[in-house]
C-alpha cells in the first residue's frame, strides 16, 4: 500500500518543500538558498526571522490608498493571501487579532512594493488626474484627439475626450495613457503625418480649455492633484513665438519655415513676430 503524497497548493514560498515535500527543482533551489542564508546569518549572530508586523501593515494600507489592494500586494510580493489576511484582520481562531510578527523576508518583499501606476491592478479604479493631464498636454502639443484615440485603440474619438476630463480611470487605462505620453510628449505631430490644420485645431482646443503642455509638468508630480503647471513667465504671444522660434533655429537647426510649421503658424506670422520682438542688443 502506497501513501498518497499531498500536492502543494502553490509553489511560491518554502511551504511546498517543508510541509508537502515538493521535489520541483526550482522549489528545492529556493529552499536550499533559504537554508544557506539562515545558517550564515546565525553564524554572524544576525538571524532575525521575524519583525514587527505594524510597519508592514501600514505600508499595505498606504498602497491601498493608491489603488493597490492587499490581494494585489500578495500577487506582487509572492506572499500568501491567508498570511496577508491574518496580518491585516487576524482570523477567527485568534479572535480576529491581527498578526503581531511577520517573517523578515515577507516584510522585505511587501515593503519593496512602491505606489506606482505599474503596480496598480488593471481593473482597479485610480485617480484620473495624471491621465487627464497627459492627454491634455499631448493635445496642447498639437496631437488631435482622434489620432490619440487611434493610438489607444479607442473606437470613437469621444472616448479620448472623456478620458481628458475623467476624475477616475482604471489602472489599465492609466498605464496605457502614461506609456503613450512617454512616447509622444516630445514628438512633433507633423513628423507622424499630422496635417498642419489638425495640429492648429488641437492647439486651439487646448488654449480654449486652458490645458497645459508637457513642458509645464514635472514627471514626478504630474499625477499629484495638488501640483500646479509651471507655465513660466506671463509673456505676450509675439514674445513667446519669437523666443521659441529662435531657440528652434539656433539650437535645433530649424529653418524659418520649419520653425513656423512646428509652432503651428505661417512663415509670415513668424516674420512679424521677429519684427515686433527683435533680439535685445547688450549695451
Q: How confident is the model at residue 262 (pLDDT cuts 50, 70, 90)?
A: confident
Q: How many CA atoms lie within 13 A of 260 on its CB side?
A: 13
The pLDDT mean for the chain works out to 83
> Strands (DSSP E) along the chain, which ranges?
50-52, 101-103, 125-127, 168-170
What average pLDDT does range 151-157 have in this prediction?
A: 72
Q: How confident is the model at residue 157 (pLDDT cuts 50, 70, 90)?
A: low
Distance from CA of residue 163 to its chain's centroid? Answer: 16
Sorted by sequence, the CB contacts under 8 Å of residue 72 that are 6+ apart come out as 63, 119, 120, 121, 124
What average pLDDT does range 198-215 have in this prediction?
A: 91
Residues in the chain, overall count:
283
Cβ density class 106-143: b for 16+ within 10 Å, e for less = bbebbbebeeebebbbeebebbbbbbbbbbbbbbbbbb
Quote the pTM value: 0.61
Q: How confident is the model at residue 4 (pLDDT cuts 50, 70, 90)?
A: very low
The pLDDT of residue 178 is 93
- φ, ψ at 230 (rounded to 5°): -95, 100
The pLDDT of residue 283 is 39
What average pLDDT does range 161-183 have in this prediction?
A: 85
The pLDDT of residue 197 is 94
End-to-end CA distance of the chain: 104
Q: Which residue has the higher pLDDT, 88 or 239?
A: 88
The SS3 call for residue 151 is: helix
Cell of 282: 547688450
CA distances from 55 to 38, 59, 89, 153 (A): 23, 6, 15, 41
Q: How confident is the model at residue 175 (pLDDT cuts 50, 70, 90)?
A: very high
Nearest to 270, CA basis, from 234, 252, 243: 243
Percentage, residues of the chain above pLDDT 90: 27
The pLDDT of residue 11 is 66
Q: Which residue has the higher pLDDT, 119 or 23?
A: 119
- Give residue for cell 492647439: 203
The pLDDT of residue 1 is 45
* Chain segment 59-96, per-residue pLDDT in tens: 999 998 888 999 999 999 988 898 899 999 988 777 78
Percentage, residues of the chain above pLDDT 70: 86
CA angle 220, 162, 125 (to 5 degrees): 55
What average pLDDT does range 193-219 have in this prediction?
A: 90
The pLDDT of residue 2 is 47
The pLDDT of residue 180 is 94
Reply yes or no on whether the pLDDT at 201 is more than 90: yes
The pLDDT of residue 5 is 46
The pLDDT of residue 72 is 92
Amino acid at each position: 500500500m502506497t501513501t498518497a503524497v499531498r500536492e502543494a497548493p502553490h509553489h511560491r514560498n518554502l511551504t511546498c518543500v517543508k510541509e508537502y515535500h515538493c521535489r520541483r527543482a526550482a522549489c528545492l533551489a529556493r529552499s536550499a538558498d533559504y537554508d544557506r542564508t539562515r545558517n550564515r546569518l546565525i553564524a554572524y549572530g544576525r538571524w532575525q526571522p521575524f519583525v514587527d508586523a505594524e510597519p508592514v501593515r501600514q505600508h499595505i494600507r498606504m498602497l491601498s490608498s493608491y489603488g493597490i489592494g492587499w490581494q494585489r500586494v500578495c500577487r506582487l510580493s509572492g506572499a500568501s493571501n491567508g498570511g496577508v489576511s491574518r496580518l491585516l484582520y487576524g482570523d477567527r481562531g485568534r479572535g480576529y487579532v491581527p498578526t503581531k510578527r511577520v517573517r523578515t523576508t515577507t516584510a522585505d518583499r511587501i515593503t519593496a512594493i512602491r505606489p506606482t501606476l505599474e503596480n496598480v491592478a488593471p481593473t482597479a479604479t485610480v485617480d484620473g488626474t495624471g491621465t487627464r493631464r497627459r492627454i491634455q498636454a499631448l493635445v496642447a502639443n498639437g496631437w488631435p484627439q482622434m489620432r490619440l484615440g487611434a493610438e489607444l485603440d479607442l473606437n470613437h474619438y469621444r472616448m479620448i475626450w472623456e478620458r481628458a476630463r475623467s476624475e477616475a480611470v482604471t489602472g489599465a487605462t492609466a498605464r496605457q495613457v502614461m506609456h503613450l505620453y512617454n512616447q509622444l510628449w516630445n514628438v512633433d505631430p507633423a513628423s507622424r503625418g499630422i496635417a498642419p490644420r489638425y495640429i492648429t485645431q488641437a492647439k486651439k482646443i487646448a488654449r480654449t480649455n486652458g490645458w497645459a503642455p508637457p513642458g509645464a509638468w514635472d514627471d514626478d508630480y504630474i499625477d499629484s492633484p495638488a501640483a500646479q503647471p509651471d507655465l513660466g513667465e506671463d509673456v505676450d504671444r509675439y514674445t513667446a513665438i519669437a523666443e521659441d522660434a529662435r531657440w528652434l533655429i539656433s539650437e535645433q537647426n530649424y529653418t524659418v519655415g520649419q520653425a513656423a510649421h512646428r509652432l503651428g503658424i505661417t512663415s509670415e506670422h513668424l516674420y512679424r513676430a521677429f519684427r515686433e520682438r527683435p533680439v535685445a542688443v547688450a549695451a
